[in-house]
């Protein structure tokens, strides 16, 4: 008899997405608006704080997420109803950050947010973190996918009309 136990069988089946077919194409196209030119949402100036630095004397990569969160929250405050109520609320489903160069202290930066994709239940918000004095100095770019969910069942919910309007 062996001291190692056999791995336990998986109780819940793995859910696999069925491959897209030509019949699905019209429905998929209707579910998404790819923006031709980015819709500017907001530009937020922020001061780099001493506590944002890491042992290498530049802004820690985790702080970039905090800067982006601050900009998204300031944008959400400008949306009537803020895209949330007793029934639905936004959550971050994915974050993509491309670190282009380190931010050193002291520094003033600007976070630029724009719409990359508008779906039925989500919006992909593109972002850039640039030098406040020279927008050609790019520290970070990428995007964040925000999905609106039903607060009761946790499933994706229709994008609120106020958010859709703010994105077009």
The domains located in the chain, with CATH, are 39-166 (3.10.129.10)
The distance between the two most distant Cα atoms of the chain, rounded to a whole number of Å, is 70
Q: Which two tokens stand for residue 38?
A: 């980015």
Q: Which two tokens stand for residue 96?
A: 């993509």
Residue 156 DSSP one-character state = B
Q: What is the pTM of this model?
A: 0.76
Encode pLDDT of 57-76 as tens digits: 999 999 999 999 999 999 99
| Banded model confidence at residue 25, pLDDT cuts 50, 70, 90 | very low
| Banded model confidence at residue 123, pLDDT cuts 50, 70, 90 | very high
Which residues partner with 89 through β-bridges? 149
Which 3 state secondary structure label does DSSP give 132? coil
Q: Does residue 2 register a pLDDT over 80?
A: no
Mean pLDDT estimate for the chain: 83
* Residues making up the chain, counted from first to last: 168
Distance separating the N- and C-terminal Cα atoms of the chain: 66
Smallest Cα–Cα separation from 163: which of 123, 125, 126, 128?
123
Cβ–Cβ contacts within 10 Å for residue 148, how many?
23
Smallest Cα–Cα separation from 163: which of 126, 118, 128?
118
Backbone angles phi, psi at 164, to 5 degrees: -55, -45
Cβ–Cβ contacts within 10 Å for residue 123, how many?
24
Which residues partner with 92 through β-bridges? 146
Encode pLDDT of 89-109 as tens digits: 999 999 999 999 999 999 999
Q: What is the structure's pLDDT at 86?
A: 82
Q: What is the structure's pLDDT at 164?
A: 93
Q: What is the mean pLDDT of residues 5-30?
A: 42
């Amino acid at each position: 008899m062996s001291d190692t136990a056999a791995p336990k069988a998986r109780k819940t089946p793995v859910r696999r997405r069925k491959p897209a077919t030509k019949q699905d194409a019209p429905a998929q196209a209707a579910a998404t608006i790819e923006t031709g030119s980015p819709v500017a949402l907001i530009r937020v100036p922020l001061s780099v704080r001493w506590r944002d630095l890491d042992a290498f004397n530049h802004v820690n990569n985790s702080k970039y997420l905090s800067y982006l969160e601050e900009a998204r929250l300031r944008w959400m405050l400008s949306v009537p109803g803020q895209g949330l109520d007793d029934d639905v609320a936004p959550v971050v489903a994915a974050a993509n950050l491309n670190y282009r160069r380190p931010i050193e202290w002291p520094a003033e930066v600007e976070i630029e947010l724009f719409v990359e994709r508008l779906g039925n239940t989500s919006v992909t918000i593109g972002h850039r973190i640039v030098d406040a004095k020279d927008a050609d100095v790019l520290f970070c770019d990428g995007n964040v996918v925000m999905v609106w969910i039903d607060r009761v069942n946790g499933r994706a919910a229709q994008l609120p009309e106020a958010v859709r309007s703010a994105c077009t």
